Structure 1
Amino acid sequence: MRTVLALAAILLSLLATAPALAEDETGLTDRLRDTLEAVRERYDLPGATAAIVLPDGTLATAATGLADVEAGRAMTPGTPMLAASIGKTFLAATVLSLESDGLISQDDLLADHLGDRPWFADLPNARSITIGHLLHHRSGLPDHPHLAEFQDAAAARIASGQRVFTPEELLGFVIGREALFDAGTGWAYSDTGYILLGLVIEAVTGQRYYDVVAERFLSPLALDDTLPSDRPDLPGLAVGYTIPDNPFGLPVRTAHADGRLVWDPGVEWTGGGFASTSADLARWGHALFGGEAMAVPYLDRLLDGGPVAPDAPGILYGAGVAIYAETPLGPVYGHGGWIPGYVSSLRHYADPGVTVAFQINSDAGVVDDSSNHVGELEAALARLAMAVQQ
């Protein structure tokens, strides 16, 4: 997985160097499709989708390539893909919403909510972690997806067809380990911390996490093409393609002939946890970062970020959001997503009020760090969106 810092470096450099877009009279949708197609052809990608939401709410969408190469199924703007860690924006928004309702506070100790669980005492930094630490990746917890023990165990389960890991089983990969740093004193991306937040949400609401998100965001915002990625048979999902020597031992085509995934994406749970379309992701980002996702004020809490590295003071992480405070286009908010076979990106350009999202049904070049096509596409779509505003 590319880090927040690495993605920022790619984006900033390419915004400055990407060639100017040719002017045409075909409109935003055609230009969006042309941009997608150019990148797809250059990097031999199976397919991709993208969407742009303009300040007035106008939505443009486009698709290119194939959702299923072997079957010849065309990619369409309505084809869903796994959104991976962009799902963290839904979880963070849920925490802020519950905080507005007085059900939780970022200052709460994690122990106040999960301290009675039998495994809790052996969690790194167990007694000092707060909800805010988890939300901002400042807990000091390791990141279980990048532990060799997890990757080996996941590969074994995929190969044997065993059931998906439970949240508690995921936590088991970090139980008893040393903390990376004292809670609140550093920054390290941790899906494990977001698994804990999922358990907290269910504890304080008494509801299934996905039901809470649907009730508070998906239904009110009519995000009808966003659904839990909690099973292998997700309707209409584009087939994802990966590299031969991937960490989880998956086949290059990560789905059966009928489109059902050969693995269970439910393992991600609240570390991501949704399938969506680029259009829904762009609409969600436009509402979230535009301050319209909730009835009460929340942007100050959402964008209250800290630096991810001492040598990059302009790159911050807020409540489930990467913040690029100083770019040639002004402040940029968003999140990226990687999961085997899929890459997604969500960016909101605050000064013009434009939101851009795209998805690709291949992680080749990303999982092996062999290509900059994600950063190139982010830059090209940003330049296109800005050109429309001029």
Structure 2
Amino acid sequence: WSYSNTNYQLAGLVAEAAGGRPLHQLVRETLLNPIGVTTPFLDQYEAPTGPLPGGWSGGTVNVMDVRASTYSAAWAAGAYFATPEALARWWQGLMTGQLVGPASLSAMMTTVGPEGYGLGIVRRQLVGRPVWSHTGEIRGFSSVAAFDTARRFTVVLIANENPAPVTLIAGALVSVAATVASP
């Protein structure tokens, strides 16, 4: 077993074939609109819903001038732009069963391989706390979303820098949030 962006591309193609509509329409109708999240957009297929930050590489090179080729190539594997608030609301909705049924969420949480990878999510420990998580990296950007299973809260960090220590910072945020979140 090994992580592969190609698998996300194939999943996008399967979704389009099964749903009979372009991926961005399917995602909006089934995964965003039901919980009132409107700002994410699939780059090159939908118009930006707000101003875009510059993506940086190595702290010195603004890489947004190549946005069209870089992010269109990522498509289902990472061409969505979202605000931290929108991603947190979406992740919380996913992990609390608002977006998929119990059987689908259970299937997503069935892990393979030594890294604890399920269907699009990873079971890991952040600062000793069990979380379900996913990271993202693309030229100029890094992100992580983590759902604390015991306290049922979500932490999201998006940086317009790649590489960036988003998982390390998210771990610190999970540690702080766990002390104030109610079970």
State the alpha-carbon separation in 2 of the partners of residues 305 and 333 from structure 1: 11
AA paired with 1:339? I
Unaligned runs of 5+ in 2: none
2:35 maps to 1:221: yes
Report the TM-score, using the length of structure 2 for normalisation.
0.87
1:344 counterpart residue number: 143
State the alpha-carbon separation in 1 of the partners of residues 141 and 52 from structure 2: 11
From the superposition, tell whether residues 270 and 188 of structure 1 become closer, same or farther in structure 2 (CA, over 3 Å): same
Higher strand share: 2
2:128 counterpart residue number: 328
State the alpha-carbon separation in 2 of the partners of residues 375 and 297 from structure 1: 28
State the alpha-carbon separation in 2 of the partners of residues 242 and 214 from structure 1: 30
From the superposition, tell whether residues 306 and 264 of structure 1 become closer, same or farther in structure 2 (CA, over 3 Å): closer
From the superposition, tell whether residues 222 and 277 of structure 1 become closer, same or farther in structure 2 (CA, over 3 Å): same
- The structural deviation recorded for 1:318 is 0.7
State the alpha-carbon separation in 2 of the partners of residues 232 and 241 from structure 1: 23
Deviations 1:253-288 (A, max 9, x none): 1135xxx84744111011122100111111111111
RMSD (Å), alpha carbons: 2.5
Higher helix share: 2
2:178 counterpart residue number: 386
8 Å contact from structure 2 (residues 6, 77) kept in 1: yes
Alignment of 1:218-367 (within 5 A): 218-230=32-44, 234=48, 235-243=50-58, 252-256=61-65, 261=67, 263-294=69-100, 297-307=103-113, 309=114, 315-324=115-124, 328-329=128-129, 331-364=130-163, 366=164
Q: Which contiguous aligned blocks of 4+ residues in structure 1 show a shift greater than 6 angstroms? A: none
Alignment of 1:178-189 (within 5 A): 187-189=1-3
Deviations 1:313-332 (A, max 9, x none): xx411111011269622x21
Deviations 1:85-105 (A, max 9, x none): xxxxxxxxxxxxxxxxxxxxx
8 Å contact from structure 1 (residues 232, 262) kept in 2: no
- The structural deviation recorded for 1:305 is 1.0
Q: For residue 219 of structure 1, give the secondary structure of its aligned residue in structure 2.
A: helix
From the superposition, tell whether residues 253 and 389 of structure 1 become closer, same or farther in structure 2 (CA, over 3 Å): same
Unaligned runs of 5+ in 1: 1-186, 245-250, 310-314, 367-372
Q: For residue 64 of structure 2, give the secondary structure of its aligned residue in structure 1.
A: coil
2:12 maps to 1:198: yes
AA paired with 2:140? G
Report the TM-score, using the length of structure 1 for normalisation.
0.43
Deviations 1:336-386 (A, max 9, x none): 01001111110000001110001111114x4xxxxxx32331121111211
AA paired with 2:180? V
| Range that drifts further, 293-302 or 380-389 | 293-302
Alignment of 1:4-15 (within 5 A): none
Identity over aligned pairs, percent: 26
From the superposition, tell whether residues 197 and 375 of structure 1 become closer, same or farther in structure 2 (CA, over 3 Å): closer
Q: For residue 351 of structure 1, give the secondary structure of its aligned residue in structure 2.
A: coil
